[in-house]
Chain A
């Protein structure tokens, strides 16, 4: 069976491999047997690994460098006291992708030609049941810009493959207020945004506060996206995008990746309970409702994408209840059709819209 190519605009593969300590070359079922109890408690049942991505034909992913300033973080093992530490952790994530590239498990995508080839290779690929297949195309992204020590370091990160950056994550980064805080951009954001724009790196508005979102849009006119973000009209809370924010991203030609975290899909999800002690009502249909909301609001499916975040510190217990691993993403296809999306729309939502955005802003060396 051939199936459709899927692009996932937000996975934390490096974090999952290095901080959670999972061998991502194994199927999820094997990783679940490896994970000790404390990992299961903190990060849930594994849903993402390279064989699962291949089985779902998720052939191109934006994979993060993820470390932030956060002395109170005791859960994710990536919150740090000093920017030098976040830089070290972030370079570790990059080095993991480079080591997988060396093994032929992934291909780091630096140029438009590489992106085109990866798309072609994956569109043509038959889906093997055993999770073997071509290398996964990796677009390097960054969640919280703390690992960039200063604007002068942007070219170094760009040369390493960095193509998408969010300024903040949870808490307050060097550059901006982020999720669960109140406040706007911080003074170092200005020079950093200039350097990122000069390098052609796309700004990801996910995890900005409301204030920082609007401040960023007013002081920065380069390309933007929201790598893993749902709709506040359906799920309340600062972590989601208001209708005005969705429109502001669409006006700039941005794409919004639908996130598969029950906390962002299910208004009844309780953060004060452990994931294993509750069951979400959210299903893949709920994800489709968020995608449809964006399409109805903007009048087009061109700003809709997939940005699952399925290895972002939670597991199957906190994912849509009809999803076992990321290999189940193709089950979205009939649901999208039922919702009235055309075959062309579905291709755009699953892959084409992200590929268009990346292509529009990648500058190949001449």
Chain B
């Protein structure tokens, strides 16, 4: 039994202003405070997390306040992005991870899972959060060759390509040639962090595979960071899969990413059952188990303080699966959420590859 998760950034904190990453160290087992890391390779292995989408994450944004990790130029965002890529490649050289570039690679990693050893490499599908590191349509080939298989155009604020979380607006004109190049390369489009206007523009302009790597439901938690019911249905109609997020700000209805006044410094109050509510909602709305997966974001700039109250490290995702079963999801449904849906989705996205 393994879990396919989206959006695991082993390098979170390696950016310009973050704390030191602990990815290869044992996680601290005591102490409480902001930013206590919960995601590292040993915990991923003991939690049965065998395949992840792991990001290139850098954006063009004048650094300010809590968003102090934006870069001033696309050249710098590109370079930070490459530093993430080469960190993963160094891990691959050391046998810690293995890049999944083709459907064949994906099948191989999935097939080897039942006989895995304690040191087996974790399968990594390269993704990108904010497309600023792509210098232009003619840079797409470089990134595809590097293994990139899923891209969100925006992140927080306004970037090179359009409007993202916390802003109101659509795509910029330069986004359309980029979308064409991404689609031609066979890269999936991740609509996470698109502003509402941009979301619908993306759906109109894009014919290729679509998903939301880490998004919850707006009908449960307000704000455009989350997917409205119409958006969920539109994604489901296009065969998309939505990864649910394990973060207090995305589970607590008092939070709203559109309204900084709602930001609370308080620690998490919700347990992992709050995540199941979002899964329930997506399944009820789409009438299907096929459009939901895990996209925890548990190393996305926060630590244990904003993770669910009954969660300590990423290894606890196995306990989450038990919670799903207690909430009435049978083994087949549980497996679809844990890995089946994303395996299906990514299997369709990835180029076939040689056997």
Contact = CB atoms under 8 A, between A and B. Distances in A.
Verify that A and B bind, or say they do not: yes
Interface of A: 14, 17-23, 25, 34, 36, 71, 77, 79-85, 87-96, 98-100, 102-103, 149
B71 interface: yes
A80 B24 CA distance: 11
Contacts of B74: 99
A23 B16 contact: no
Nearest to B74: A99
A63 B94 CA distance: 28
Contact of B83 (A71, A95, A103): A95
A99 B83 CA distance: 13
Nearest to B62: A34
A91 B87 CA distance: 9
A147 to B, nearest CB: 9
A83 B72 contact: no
A9 to B, nearest CB: 22
B76 A84 contact: no
23 contacts: A21-B72, A77-B16, A79-B20, A82-B23, A82-B24, A84-B90, A84-B91, A84-B94, A85-B11, A85-B21, A87-B90, A88-B85, A88-B86, A91-B85, A92-B82, A94-B82, A95-B79, A95-B82, A96-B78, A98-B79, A99-B75, A99-B78, A149-B94
Contacts of A96: 75-76, 78-79
B326 interface: no
A88 B85 CA distance: 7
* Most A C-beta atoms less than 10 A away, residue of B63, B72, B73, B79: B79
B87 A18 contact: no
Contact of B87 (A77, A87, A102): A87
A18 B79 contact: yes
A93 B81 CA distance: 11
A88 B84 contact: yes
Interface string B69-106: 00111111011111111111011011010000000000
Contact of A84 (B17, B24, B63, B82): B24
Given A95-B79, A149-B93, A88 B14 contact: yes
Contacts of A98: 79
A335 to B, nearest CB: 35
B265 interface: no
A199 to B, nearest CB: 19
Nearest to A84: B90
Given A36-B63, A88-B11, A95-B82, A21 B76 contact: yes
B22 A81 contact: yes
A100 B74 CA distance: 10
A299 B17 CA distance: 47
B76 A23 contact: yes
B83 A89 contact: yes
Interface of B: 11, 14, 16-17, 20-25, 63, 71-76, 78-88, 90-91, 93-94, 96, 135
A149 B22 CA distance: 18
A96 B78 CA distance: 7
A17 B79 contact: yes
Contacts of A87: 86-87, 90
B72 A91 contact: no
A81 B135 CA distance: 30
A125 to B, nearest CB: 23
Contacts of B22: 81
A91 B63 contact: no
Tell me the dominant secondary structure on chain A's binding face.
Answer: helix
A85 B96 CA distance: 13
Given A21-B72, A77-B16, A84-B90, A92 B135 contact: no
A103 B93 CA distance: 31
Given A81-B25, A87-B86, A88-B14, A99 B79 contact: yes
A88 B11 CA distance: 9
Contacts of B25: 81-82
A23 B73 contact: yes
B208 to A, nearest CB: 27
A248 to B, nearest CB: 35
Contacts of B81: 95
A34 B161 CA distance: 23
B75 A100 contact: yes
Contact of B71 (A21, A79, A81): A21
B80 A92 contact: yes
A85 B25 CA distance: 12
A98 to B, nearest CB: 8
Nearest to A87: B90
A89 B14 contact: yes
A20 B76 CA distance: 11
* Most A C-beta atoms less than 10 A away, residue of B74, B80, B93: B80
A90 B76 CA distance: 13
B76 A18 contact: yes
A81 B20 contact: yes
Contacts of B63: 21, 36
Contacts of B71: 18, 21
Nearest to A95: B82
B303 to A, nearest CB: 17
Given A87-B90, A99-B75, A102-B135, A18 B23 contact: no
* Most A C-beta atoms less than 10 A away, residue of B11, B73, B93: B73
Nearest to B138: A102
Contacts of B20: 71, 79-81
Contacts of A79: 20
B86 A103 contact: no
A77 B17 contact: yes
Contacts of A94: 79, 82
A77 B14 CA distance: 8
Nearest to B79: A96
Which 3 pairs, one residue from A and one from B, show the smallest C-beta to C-beta distance?
Answer: A92-B83, A88-B87, A91-B86
B12 to A, nearest CB: 12
Nearest to A102: B135
B16 A22 contact: no
A170 to B, nearest CB: 16
Contacts of B21: 80-81, 85
A92 B24 contact: no
